[in-house]
Structure 1
Amino acid sequence: MKNGKKPTKRQKEIIKQARLNPDNWLVVKNLPDELHIVHRETGRQRVIPA
């Protein structure tokens, strides 16, 4: 798996709308219709519709 990147301001808003704390998540893949994120500590992956 690739290393995640810090989310941008727009991505942080999308993560907040999914009721997650953006400080705990890194962006792995940014697609037009979804955002793939991974948790900083546990490595758990999620896909959020954008």
Structure 2
Amino acid sequence: MKNGKRPTRRQLSQIKAADLNVESWLVAKSLPTQLHLVHRYTGTAKIIAI
């Protein structure tokens, strides 16, 4: 798994819209229709639709 990067402002709003804590999630991959997130502490992965 790649290391996650800090989300941009637009990505932060999308993470908030998915009812996730923005301080705990990093962006592993950004696709036009999906965001692949990695939890900052546990390393679990999650995919949210944009």
Q: Could you state the TM-score of these two structures normalised by the residue count of structure 1?
A: 0.97
Q: Percent of aligned positions with the same letter in both sequences?
A: 56
Structure 2's unaligned 5+ residue stretches are: none
Deviation at 1:32, TM superposition (A): 0.1
Deviations 1:2-49 (A, max 9, x none): 110000000000000000011100000000000000000011100000
**Structure showing the higher helix proportion among its residues:** 1
- Unaligned runs of 5+ residues in structure 1 are none
Q: Give the whole-Å Cα distance in 2 for the aligned partners of 1:6 and 1:34.
A: 16
TM-score normalised by L of structure 2:
0.97
Name the Cα RMSD after superposition: 0.4
Per the alignment, residue 34 of structure 1 pairs with 34
Aligned residues: 50
